[in-house]
Amino acid sequence: MKIYKKISVAASIIAVAMMTSCSDKGYWEEAPHEQAYYFMSATCNETLNTGANEIVIPIERIYTETTESINVEFTPGKDCPSDITVESPVTFEAGSNTANVVIKIAHAVPPYTYSGTLSFDAHKSYSGVSAVTFNCPVAYNWNSIGKGGFLDAWVMGNLEDMFEVEILKADGFERYRVIEPYKEYYTSTIGQEDWEDWISTTGPAYIEFWENAEGKLSFNSYNTGLLYQATPGQPIGAYSWSAFAADNGYTGDNDIWYRPGFAVLSPVYYINGVGGFGQQKYAVQIILP
């Protein structure tokens, strides 16, 4: 009974407060009825096929009584190819709270990535998303081109012979993957003697590298498979210079073709939260089949 009385009293207080604070038209009649729009997600990441593509991103609205159109603006990302268009304005039909923003790509070609930001110039929902950032790489196939050579002079020391590795090439353009480059070394007697309990795994599944717009080489950062001081949670990574701030002195000038078919990379060996060993010039050497 005590609980029932407390609920009754609380309800009475709320009712009195509403009667004294609202106009004679009632609260709901005084509430704003402006249209409000929002995206469902702040990001869009899709893999595109070669050729023509369409990316569809829904945009929502709160009210559905009338037909409404809004303009959508597209800001391309860095190095985004120019054969991309966004259909604008988009129209909501009466009775519908969803319309689709259609992004059209005329002819996607690997290895390019289409990126940018979508926004609208209409009233944003109070708690909604008003801009979508998308990043859509073009898919490509990998084909084995045979056995090549791999050496990481910083990890493996100055061995006279490279380790034999399988190398894949992207179909239609110059992009390469070195498959399990450290595995043979880490499982060999010499690798186990050199690093003992610092070895945590057999290294990355692959190292991917390609020629960039400046004619130098770029590569993905990766985990070397070593633990700093054999400490769990402190993996030694091999990072591209571009993973760091611009004022640290690291550059891509030493990521190059030493000669045709012979790539040399200069990773920065680094442990997150601890520090690093700096950029090691020409440490990684790769010979194509």
Most confident of 22-26, 36-40, 137-141, 279-283: 279-283
Report residue 19 as tokens: 């009667």
Q: Is the confidence at residue 230, as pLDDT, over 70?
A: yes
Q: What is the pLDDT of residues 2-16, one digit of tens each?
A: 444 444 444 444 444
Residue 139 CA to chain centroid, in angstroms? 15
Three-state SS for 5?
helix
Q: Which of 182, 177, 145 minimizes the C-alpha distance to 163?
A: 182
HEC per residue, 189-211: HHHHHHHHHHECCCCCCEEEEEE
Stated length of the chain? 289
Q: What is the pLDDT of residues 43-83, one digit of tens each?
A: 999 999 989 999 999 999 988 889 999 999 999 998 899 99
Lowest mean pLDDT among 20-24, 73-77, 112-116: 20-24
How far apart (Å, rounded) are the C-alpha atoms in residues 261 and 288?
5
Average pLDDT over residues 99-121: 92
pLDDT bin (cut points 50, 70, 90) of residue 159 is: confident
Q: Is the confidence at residue 19, as pLDDT, over 70?
A: no
CB atoms within 10 A of CB 289: 13
Query: What percent of the chain is modeled with pLDDT above 90?
Result: 73
Average pLDDT over residues 103-132: 89
Q: Which of 153, 157, 150, 151 minimizes the C-alpha distance to 280?
A: 153
- Do 212 and 78 contact (CB within 8 A), yes or no? no
Cα torsion 198, 249, 218, 255: sign: negative
Q: Is the confidence at residue 285, as pLDDT, over 70?
A: yes
Three-state SS for 82?
coil
pLDDT of residue 226: 97
Asked if CATH classification 2.60.40.10 holds for the domain at 37-137, the reply, yes or no, is yes
Q: Is the confidence at residue 113, as pLDDT, over 80?
A: yes
Question: What pTM, to 2 d.p., does this model score?
Answer: 0.67
How far apart (Å, rounded) are the C-alpha atoms in residues 247 and 258?
26
Q: What is the residue extent of each domain of the chain?
A: 37-137, 142-287
- Gyration radius (Cα) of the chain, Å: 29
Q: Is the confidence at residue 266, as pLDDT, over 90?
A: yes
